[in-house]
Amino acid sequence: MTGQIGTQPPDSSSPELRLAERNDLISRFYLKHLPGKWQEKFVTECPFCTDHGYASGRLVIFLNRESFFHGYFRCLNRCVPGGFPLWFAHLAGISLKEVPDYEEDRQVALEQPVFPVKNINEEVRAFQGRISEPVFRQFEQSGVTEAALVEMQVGFNGRYIVYPYIQEDGNCYSARCVYPEKTEDFFWHGNEEFSREPFTLFNVQDITRCENGALFLCEGEENLLTLKQLGFPGVAVSHYNVLEKLPAQLFDKLNTVFICCANTLESQKSGANLASRIGYKARILTWPEKSPRPYTLWQLARDAGKMFGAHVGEMVKASCAFSPFASPLREYHGFLQTLAKEQGEEYLNLSSGFSRLDAALGGIHGLNVIGGAPKLGKSTFLIQIASEMASRKIPVLYYDFENGRQKIYQRTLSRLARLSNDQLTERRLSAEQKQHFAAAQRKLQKMFFFWRVINDRKLTPELMRKHIDFIRHETRSAYTVVVVDSLHKLPFNEFTERRTGIDAWLRQMESIRDELQVSFLVISELSRGAGGSYLEEPHLGMFKGSGDIEYSADNAMVLHRPAPDNSQPGQYAGKETTLSLVASREHSPGRVADYHLDFPYWGFTEGPVSEKGRSR
């Protein structure tokens, strides 16, 4: 056999070799070892037929560089299984070093198992000779001929079609027996160990034969037979759930894997999951829109007849490489849709209710961190913002680790009713106060549908995502505002160091912000400055316990007191608190506004930055 191949290679100056050289190294490889003239579908005498007991046949090699099966060869007599150049070199006794793209030190993807001595090869051969006429006719209805059945060693035990699962060592230890036209009725024959993963891949040897090439991965052995009839290489699983268990490393040495599943949601999902693990090499064959459910290659071959090959060709052309990215067109349309949403009323409604703050930030969007000294009113400030947004039907999740749910609601009711906490508990109210109290109660009750206060100290990012999904579904809103009071009291779970836990939470918030279109308002503690005070000029380095705030936050703000009143040493100037924007991705840092504590009603009123605020 080896003597026939390459005994008279074309001269290096021959037109055939020069034409091949202009094309590719694979063409040069085949023309070096086979006689004939280069063409995209190269046909020559098969060098393997006579050695395998066949009359001389024709060998077809696909040399079209644009084809996924560039370099694939097959004998029309099916004397040997088809494959790509490395397999050809193995059959022909050619040094693998001559094969283009051969990597001598390539590692084996999976550890090879130890195969038992006992096999069922003789039984498989006996089953092959027992296929009845009715079973043959069933295969013929989908265009599968006896030659394809012989190549795949398919047999019949008198009642069941026998699909031998021949392993990589060339022996069969287990076969799947399927009742004709009733695929749910089956059993495994042979060694029980080989009826489970990782041995349940039908025609697994084709993976080695197709190294540096392409093959099909089908759901259902009968579907693979239709492709084998067309001359394509491939492997198959018995059921879509096996796809979930296949190790992706099996396909490491292939360039392309075409995944063809039945036209059902379950099968398509399993195929997509496998494709995500294989990566860019995987291409999922999608069914035309009008294809019935369920539908398979077996049914398509029966319905399409001689046009089956053309249909498969169209599905191959239409297939797309699995990508972790959206298609460019989808990405562009997604950008336009998001842009349109940001021009809509719902997005523009994401505002705090404080006009100067909204002007400084362009509304409440992204990840906003607000720091401040203890007892300065940070919680009161964000409770007011959260409740006001909820009153405008914006869904708000308020994660509270500071005050308690009852206190938050009571302070909100106090602000809405213009009644102090003491007055809320008094039984004697004037008629006017009772009216305010009743109106405030009604307003607070309506807020509760959009405002959820959570005190769960076992909170995780996964649980936060579930909360967001729930309230978005419940309120039919595209946007959600999440308030965290405070960053330093979030549960850190497995994180032993607080700083590690804080930074991890910030990264999770970034992810949630981007994935779920969520706006965050997060309270942070500040570090003490010189002399243990909080009176220094606000800056980004004041935030306590996290270096990630400067990288994660879209806006970093500090609530601080105005300068001390020199006329009264040790006293602050009034009840004003100043908010300063110390860092922002899109906005100019600076003083935002002064906020006057509306005592005793647990709220703030906003005003311009005072002269004392500017002088600091």
Give Cβ neighbours of residue 32 (< 8 Å, ≥ 6 apart). 6, 9, 10, 17, 98
Residue 556 pLDDT grade (very low, low, confident, very high; cuts 50, 70, 90): very high
The greatest distance separating any two alpha carbons of the chain, rounded to the nearest whole angstrom, comes to: 114
Final residue belonging to a domain, choices 556, 575, 590? 556
pLDDT in the model for residue 88: 97
pLDDT in the model for residue 615: 35
Work out the angle at residue 554's Cα, subtended by the Cα atoms of residues 548 and 560, and round it to the nearest 5 degrees: 80
Q: Which residue has tokens 């398979």?
A: 296
Residue 230 pLDDT grade (very low, low, confident, very high; cuts 50, 70, 90): very high
Q: Is residue 66 part of a domain?
A: yes
DSSP label at residue 394? -
pLDDT score of 616 more than 50: no
The mean pLDDT value for 347-368 works out to 95
Q: Which stretches of 422-486 are assigned E, i.e. beta strand?
A: 451-454, 480-485
pLDDT in the model for residue 320: 85
Cα dihedral value 259, 260, 264, 268, nearest 10 = 10
CATH number of the domain bearing residue 527 = 3.40.50.300
For residue range 205-222, what is the model confidence (pLDDT) as tens digits?
Answer: 999 999 999 999 999 999
pLDDT in the model for residue 574: 52
Final residue belonging to a domain, choices 64, 83, 98? 98
Q: Which residue has tokens 């964000």?
A: 382
The mean pLDDT value for 128-143 works out to 92
| The two structure tokens encoding residue 586 | 């899109």
Give Cβ neighbours of residue 497 (< 8 Å, ≥ 6 apart). none
Together in a domain, 216 and 304: yes
For residue range 463-503, what is the model confidence (pLDDT) as tens digits?
Answer: 999 999 999 999 999 999 999 999 999 987 654 466 678 88
CA–CA dist 330, 373 (Å, integer): 47
pLDDT in the model for residue 572: 41
Together in a domain, 306 and 365: no
Q: pTM higher than 0.85, yes or no?
A: no
Nearest to residue 207, comparing CAs of 226, 186, 224, 182?
224
Q: Are 138 and 282 in contact (CB under 8 A)?
A: no
pLDDT score of 584 more than 70: yes
- Helix, strand, or coil (residue 361): helix
Together in a domain, 395 and 479: yes
Q: How long is the chain?
A: 616
> Which one is predicted more confidently, 323 or 451?
451
User: Measured on CA atoms in the order 150, 153, 154, 158, is the torsion positive or negative?
Assistant: positive
Chain centroid to CA 575: 51
Q: Is residue 574 part of a domain?
A: no
* Range from 34-48, 318-332, 521-535 carrying the lowest mean pLDDT: 318-332
pLDDT score of 582 more than 90: yes
Together in a domain, 539 and 505: yes
For residue range 1-53, what is the model confidence (pLDDT) as tens digits?
Answer: 333 444 344 454 555 555 554 558 999 999 999 999 899 999 999 999 999 98
CATH number of the domain bearing residue 49 = 3.90.580
pLDDT in the model for residue 536: 82
Strands 555-560 and 367-372: parallel
The mean pLDDT value for 351-366 works out to 96
Residue 335 pLDDT grade (very low, low, confident, very high; cuts 50, 70, 90): confident
Final residue belonging to a domain, choices 35, 63, 98? 98
Q: Which residues sit opposite 597 in a β-bridge?
A: 604
The mean pLDDT value for 405-410 works out to 95
* HSE (side-chain half, CA atoms, 13 Å) at 153: 20
User: Of 137-141, 563-567, 575-579, which one has max mean pLDDT?
Assistant: 137-141
DSSP label at residue 337? H
User: Of 516-530, 531-545, 561-575, which one has max mean pLDDT?
Assistant: 516-530
CA–CA dist 295, 495 (Å, integer): 50
> Which one is predicted more confidently, 394 or 565?
394
Tally of domains within the chain: 3
CA–CA dist 215, 236 (Å, integer): 11
pLDDT in the model for residue 107: 53
The mean pLDDT value for 524-540 works out to 84
pLDDT in the model for residue 17: 53
What's the mean pLDDT when you consider all of the chain? 88
Q: Is residue 116 part of a domain?
A: no
Together in a domain, 390 and 511: yes
Q: Is residue 538 part of a domain?
A: yes
Cα distances (Å, whole numbers) of residue 309 to 9, 10, 231, 415: 34, 34, 10, 75
Cα distances (Å, whole numbers) of residue 349 to 343, 392, 453: 11, 8, 21
Together in a domain, 23 and 148: no
Q: Is residue 410 part of a domain?
A: yes
Work out the angle at residue 305's Cα, subtended by the Cα atoms of residues 300 and 308, and round it to the nearest 5 degrees: 55
Together in a domain, 284 and 422: no
CA–CA dist 23, 18 (Å, integer): 9
User: Measured on CA atoms in the order 91, 11, 3, 36, is the torsion positive or negative?
Assistant: positive
DSSP label at residue 249? G
Q: Which residues sit opposite 236 in a β-bridge?
A: 202, 218
pLDDT score of 185 more than 70: yes
Q: Is residue 616 part of a domain?
A: no
The helix or strand, by DSSP H or E, that contains position 321, with its residue range, turns out to be strand 320-321
Query: What are the backbone dihedrals phi and psi of residue 391, each rounded to the nearest 5 degrees, phi first?
Result: -65, -20
Nearest to residue 114, comparing CAs of 191, 180, 40?
191
Chain centroid to CA 232: 30
* Range from 216-220, 319-323, 585-589 carrying the lowest mean pLDDT: 319-323
CATH number of the domain bearing residue 141 = 3.40.1360.10
| The two structure tokens encoding residue 34 | 């086979």
Together in a domain, 151 and 254: yes
Chain centroid to CA 133: 48
CA–CA dist 418, 421 (Å, integer): 10
- Helix, strand, or coil (residue 390): helix
The mean pLDDT value for 262-291 works out to 92
CA–CA dist 446, 440 (Å, integer): 10
CA–CA dist 201, 196 (Å, integer): 10
CA–CA dist 355, 593 (Å, integer): 10
Together in a domain, 503 and 407: yes
- Helix, strand, or coil (residue 535): coil
Together in a domain, 86 and 138: no
Residue 451 pLDDT grade (very low, low, confident, very high; cuts 50, 70, 90): very high
Together in a domain, 296 and 353: no
Cα distances (Å, whole numbers) of residue 170 to 66, 73, 197: 33, 21, 18
Q: How many CB atoms lie within 10 A of CB 169?
A: 13
Range of the domain at 285: 121-321
Nearest to residue 33, comparing CAs of 2, 65, 56?
2
Q: Are 398 and 453 in contact (CB under 8 A)?
A: yes
Q: Is residue 561 part of a domain?
A: no
pLDDT in the model for residue 111: 60
Nearest to residue 144, comparing CAs of 78, 233, 223, 229?
229
Q: Is residue 586 part of a domain?
A: no
Q: How many CB atoms lie within 10 A of CB 81?
A: 19
The helix or strand, by DSSP H or E, that contains position 59, with its residue range, turns out to be strand 58-62
- Helix, strand, or coil (residue 514): helix
The mean pLDDT value for 367-390 works out to 95
| The two structure tokens encoding residue 219 | 């759901």
Together in a domain, 470 and 539: yes
Q: How many CB atoms lie within 10 A of CB 178?
A: 20
What residue spans of 231-327 are helical by DSSP H?
Answer: 240-243, 265-278, 297-304, 308-318
Query: What are the backbone dihedrals phi and psi of residue 404, each rounded to the nearest 5 degrees, phi first?
Result: 100, 145
